C-alpha cells in the first residue's frame, strides 16, 4: 500500500496535478483505511494526515492537523532529549548537529535541526488554517512571539542550530521537503 500512496503524496506536496491526485489519493485512502492502518508505519500515517491538512475540507484539515501536531511535538521532544540529555545520548548529538536523522520509533525519525522542515511545514499549515478565524490567528501570532522569547522553550533551544524555526512566514514549504533533502528522503525510504 505504501508504494501506491507514496507517489501521490510526493506529487501533492510538489503541487503536481492537485485536483486529480487528491481525488485519487483520497479515494484510495478511504477505501483501504483498515489495511493502511495495519500496514503503514507512523511516519507515513502522518504523511497521509499532512496531505489531508493541505487538501481536505475544513473539518478534515483541522482534525488531521491535531494528529500531525501530536506526533510532531513528540518528535521534537525526543529530538531535544537526544541532543541535550547526556544520559540517553551517547552518539546522536554530533549526528544531529550535522543534520543527520536518528531513528525514533516506527519509521519516525528525529527532527532535522539544520533544515527545520517539520516546524516550518507545521507552522505554515497553522498559518493557512487559522487565517479564516482572525481571533484565533491573532492568538497564534501572539503565542509564537511569546514562545520565541522564552529561553527555556524546546523550540528556542533547537533554533540555536536551525536558525529559522520562527521565520516560517518567510519560508516556502516546498523548498525544504522536496528540494534540499529529496535525495536523503528517497534513499531512506528505499531502505525501508
Share of the chain above pLDDT 70, in %: 82
- Which grid coordinates belong to 106? 516506527
Rounded-to-10 torsion of CA 175, 163, 73, 69: -40
pLDDT-based confidence at 28, cuts 50/70/90?
very high
pLDDT computed for residue 25 by the predictor? 95
Residues 6+ apart with CB under 8 A from 151: none
pLDDT computed for residue 190 by the predictor? 54
pLDDT computed for residue 102 by the predictor? 79
pTM, rounded to two decimals: 0.62
- Residue 102, Cβ density class (10 Å: 0-12 exposed, 13-18 middle, ≥19 buried): middle
pLDDT computed for residue 89 by the predictor? 62
For residues 189 and 184, what is the distance between their CA atoms, to the nearest angstrom?
A: 9
> Which of 84-88, 114-118, 148-152, 172-176 is most confident?
148-152
Whether 124 and 166 have beta carbons less than 8 Å apart is answered as no
- Which grid coordinates belong to 70? 501530536
pLDDT-based confidence at 17, cuts 50/70/90?
very high
Q: What is the mean pLDDT of residues 11-19?
A: 94
Q: What is the mean pLDDT of residues 56-78?
A: 85
Amino acid at each position: 500500500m505504501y508504494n501506491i500512496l507514496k507517489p501521490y503524496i510526493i506529487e501533492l506536496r510538489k503541487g503536481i496535478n492537485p485536483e486529480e491526485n487528491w481525488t485519487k489519493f483520497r479515494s484510495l485512502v478511504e477505501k483501504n483505511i483498515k489495511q493502511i492502518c495495519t500496514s503503514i508505519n507512523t511516519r507515513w500515517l502522518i504523511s497521509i494526515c499532512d496531505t489531508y491538512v493541505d487538501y481536505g475540507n475544513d473539518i478534515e484539515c483541522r482534525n488531521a492537523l491535531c494528529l500531525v501536531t501530536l506526533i510532531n511535538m513528540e518528535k521534537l521532544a525526543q529530538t531535544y532529549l537526544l541532543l541535550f540529555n547526556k544520559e540517553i545520548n551517547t552518539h546522536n548529538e554530533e549526528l544531529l548537529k550535522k543534520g543527520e536523522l536518528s531513528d525514533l520509533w516506527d519509521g519516525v525519525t528525529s527532527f532535522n535541526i539544520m533544515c527545520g522542515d517539520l516546524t516550518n511545514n507545521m507552522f505554515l499549515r497553522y498559518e493557512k488554517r487559522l487565517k479564516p478565524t482572525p481571533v484565533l490567528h491573532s492568538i497564534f501570532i501572539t503565542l509564537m512571539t511569546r514562545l520565541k522569547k522564552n529561553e527555556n522553550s524546546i523550540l528556542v533551544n533547537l533554533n540555536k542550530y536551525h536558525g529559522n524555526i520562527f521565520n516560517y512566514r518567510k519560508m516556502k514549504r516546498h523548498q525544504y521537503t522536496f528540494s534540499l533533502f529529496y535525495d536523503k528522503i528517497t534513499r531512506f525510504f528505499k531502505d525501508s
